[in-house]
C-alpha cells in the first residue's frame, strides 16, 4: 500500500530505470547512451540561450547608438509641411503616460559641399533647449549644440561626414537645398553657407556619415517651411515605440503622420528579427537531434526490460502503467537536460563579457578588434521572452520523443516475453 507521501510506482520504477547503469555491461551501455542524450539536450539548450543572448546584446548596442541620435517616435505633418501648433501636438501626445519628453524638429535631405567635395546628407533642424528631452546626444553634447543659435547659421556634422568633406572647426560648409527658387533663368537650387562649430560621433556609421544638425529656425528658413515640421517624442520604454506610435496615430487623426524608430530603421530591425528566428530554428535542430536520441535509448531499454515488463504485467500492472514508467524515464532525461542547459547557458550568458576576454588573452587573438568593428566587446542580454520558448520547446521535444518507445513497451506480450526466461 502506498503511503500518503510516496510517489506512484510508475514514477519510482521510471526513475530507477533512468539511474540504471551498474547492473551489468548492457545496462551500463544504455545508461551511457541516456547520459549522452541528456548532455546533447543540455548543450543544445545552452547554445540557444547563449547565442540569442549575444544577439540581443548586439541588437541593444546598435539600437542604443541609433537612439542616441534619433527620437523614439516622430509625429509629422501628413502633407510634409509645418505643424500648425507643435506645442499643442506635443501636449496631446504627452497625455500618454509612456511619453516623457518632446521637442520640435525640421528634417530634409540636401547636398553638403566644401570645395570640390559634395555629399548627400539628412539635415535636421533642432531646438538645443528642447532636444535634450528626447535624445542622449543632446544631453551629452549640450555645450556644443548650444552654439546652434538662430540667425548665426552654425552647423554640427557627424564626424565621418566632416572627414569626407575635409571640413574642420570654423570652416564654411555649403548646403544645397532641393527647394529651389524660380528665376528668369529657371529653377535655381537654394544655397546657404554654414559655419562648422563642431562634430559628433554616435558610433553608428549611418548617422556619423550622413547627418547634419542646425537650429530649427535656420532650417525652417532654409527649407521654406513656416515652422517645425514635427515633434520628436521620447518614451519611458523604447520597446513600446511601435505600439505607442500606432495608438498615437489613431488618437491624433489623419492630419499627422506618426512613425517610430523601428519603422525609420525598418530594414535593420526586420533583418535582426529574421536572423534571430532563423538562428533559433537552426539551433533548435540540435536540441531536436538530442531529444530524439532518447528514442533509441528508450527502445533499447524496452528491449532490455521485456522480462521486467512481463513480470509487472502478471502482477497486475496495466498497459497504461507500463507506458507511464517509460514516459517518466524519458521525461526525466528531458527535464534534467533542459534545466542543466538552462543553468549552463545563463551562467555563460551573464559572464560572457568576462569569459571572452579571458579566451582572447589565453589564445592571443581578438575576436572583435577595435580597429575594424565599432563594437569591440561581446555584449549579452538574456531575455525571458527568448529563454522561456527555448525551455518549453526542449521539454516538448523530449516528451514527444518518449511516446513511441513507451507505447511499444505497453504492447509487450507477457507470455511471449517470459517464454525463454
**Among 253, 285, 304, which residue terminates a domain?**
253
Residue 54 and residue 84 share a domain: no
In a domain, 223, yes or no: yes
In a domain, 3, yes or no: no
In a domain, 381, yes or no: yes
Could you give the residue ranges of the DSSP H alpha helices within 68-192?
Answer: 86-93, 128-131, 136-140, 142-145, 159-165
Residue 247 and residue 278 share a domain: no
Under the banding of pLDDT at 50, 70 and 90, the label for residue 1 is very low
In a domain, 71, yes or no: no
Highest mean pLDDT among 84-88, 193-197, 262-266, 319-323: 193-197
User: What is the average pLDDT across 75-99?
Assistant: 87
Residue 391 and residue 301 share a domain: yes
Residue 335 and residue 237 share a domain: no
What is residue 415's predicted lDDT score, i.e. its pLDDT? 65
What is the residue range of 98's domain? 79-253
Kindly report the number of other CB atoms within 10 A of residue 26's CB atom. 11
In a domain, 156, yes or no: yes
Residue 223 and residue 102 share a domain: yes
Residue 51 and residue 198 share a domain: no
Kindly report the number of other CB atoms within 10 A of residue 36's CB atom. 13
Number of domains in the chain: 2
Classify strands 99-114 and 172-183 as parallel, antiparallel or unpaired.
antiparallel
Which of 20, 43, 216, 49 lies closest to 128, judged by CA?
A: 216
**Among 207, 225, 253, which residue terminates a domain?**
253
Q: Is the dihedral of CA 208, 200, 177, 216 positive or negative?
A: positive
**For 105-148, how does the pLDDT look when each residue is reduced to its tens digit (9 = 90+)?**
999 889 998 888 888 899 999 999 888 889 888 888 888 888 99
Residue 279 and residue 161 share a domain: no
Please say if the pLDDT value at position 10 is more than 70.
Answer: no
In a domain, 262, yes or no: no
CA dihedral 373, 379, 382, 386 (to 10 degrees): 0
In a domain, 2, yes or no: no
Residue 284 and residue 161 share a domain: no
What is residue 323's predicted lDDT score, i.e. its pLDDT? 82
Residue 178 and residue 36 share a domain: no
Phi and psi at 287, nearest 5°, equal -65, -40
Residue 246 and residue 338 share a domain: no
In a domain, 204, yes or no: yes
Residue 92 and residue 44 share a domain: no
Please say if the pLDDT value at position 36 is more than 70.
Answer: yes
Residue 86 and residue 47 share a domain: no
What is residue 334's predicted lDDT score, i.e. its pLDDT? 86
Please say if the pLDDT value at position 248 is more than 50.
Answer: yes
**Among 203, 220, 253, which residue terminates a domain?**
253
Amino acid at each position: 500500500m502506498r503511503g500518503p507521501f510516496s510517489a506512484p510506482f510508475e514514477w519510482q520504477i521510471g526513475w530507477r530505470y533512468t539511474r540504471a547503469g551498474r547492473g551489468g555491461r548492457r545496462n551500463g551501455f544504455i545508461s551511457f547512451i541516456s547520459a549522452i542524450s541528456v548532455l546533447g539536450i543540455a548543450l543544445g539548450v545552452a547554445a540557444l540561450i547563449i547565442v540569442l543572448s549575444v544577439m540581443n546584446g548586439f541588437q541593444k548596442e546598435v539600437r542604443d547608438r541609433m537612439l542616441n541620435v534619433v527620437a523614439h517616435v516622430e509625429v509629422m505633418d501628413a502633407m510634409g509641411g509645418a505643424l500648425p501648433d507643435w506645442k499643442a501636438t506635443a501636449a496631446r501626445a504627452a497625455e500618454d503616460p509612456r511619453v516623457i519628453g518632446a521637442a520640435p524638429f525640421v528634417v530634409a535631405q540636401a547636398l553638403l559641399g566644401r570645395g570640390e567635395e559634395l555629399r548627400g546628407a539628412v539635415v535636421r533642424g533642432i531646438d538645443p533647449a528642447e532636444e535634450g528631452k528626447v535624445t542622449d546626444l543632446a544631453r551629452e553634447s549640450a555645450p556644443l549644440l548650444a552654439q546652434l543659435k538662430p540667425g548665426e547659421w552654425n552647423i554640427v556634422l557627424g564626424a565621418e561626414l566632416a572627414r569626407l568633406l575635409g571640413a574642420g572647426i570654423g570652416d564654411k560648409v555649403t548646403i544645397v537645398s532641393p527647394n529651389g527658387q524660380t528665376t528668369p533663368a529657371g529653377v535655381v537650387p537654394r544655397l546657404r553657407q554654414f559655419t562648422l562649430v563642431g562634430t559628433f560621433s554616435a558610433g553608428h556609421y549611418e548617422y556619423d556619415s550622413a547627418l547634419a544638425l542646425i537650429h530649427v529656425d535656420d532650417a525652417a528658413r532654409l527649407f521654406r517651411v513656416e515652422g517645425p515640421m514635427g515633434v520628436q517624442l521620447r518614451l519611458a520604454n523604447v520597446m513600446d515605440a511601435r505600439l505607442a506610435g500606432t495608438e498615437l496615430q489613431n488618437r491624433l487623426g489623419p492630419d499627422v503622420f506618426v512613425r517610430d524608430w523601428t519603422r525609420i530603421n525598418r530594414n535593420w530591425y526586420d533583418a535582426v528579427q529574421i536572423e534571430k528566428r532563423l538562428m533559433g530554428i537552426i539551433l533548435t535542430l540540435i536540441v531536436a537531434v538530442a531529444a530524439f536520441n532518447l528514442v533509441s535509448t528508450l527502445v533499447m531499454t524496452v528491449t532490455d526490460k521485456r522480462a521486467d515488463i512481463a513480470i509487472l504485467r502478471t502482477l497486475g500492472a496495466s498497459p497504461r502503467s507500463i507506458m507511464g514508467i517509460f514516459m517518466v524515464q524519458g521525461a526525466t532525461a528531458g527535464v534534467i537536460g533542459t534545466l542543466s542547459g538552462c543553468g549552463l547557458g545563463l551562467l555563460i550568458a551573464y559572464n560572457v563579457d568576462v569569459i571572452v576576454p579571458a579566451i582572447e588573452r589565453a589564445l592571443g587573438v581578438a575576436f572583435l578588434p577595435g580597429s575594424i568593428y565599432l563594437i569591440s566587446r561581446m555584449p549579452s542580454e538574456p531575455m525571458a521572452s527568448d529563454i522561456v520558448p527555448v525551455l518549453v520547446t526542449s521539454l516538448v521535444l523530449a516528451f514527444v520523443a518518449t511516446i513511441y518507445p513507451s507505447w511499444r513497451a505497453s504492447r509487450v506480450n507477457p507470455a511471449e516475453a517470459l517464454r525463454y526466461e
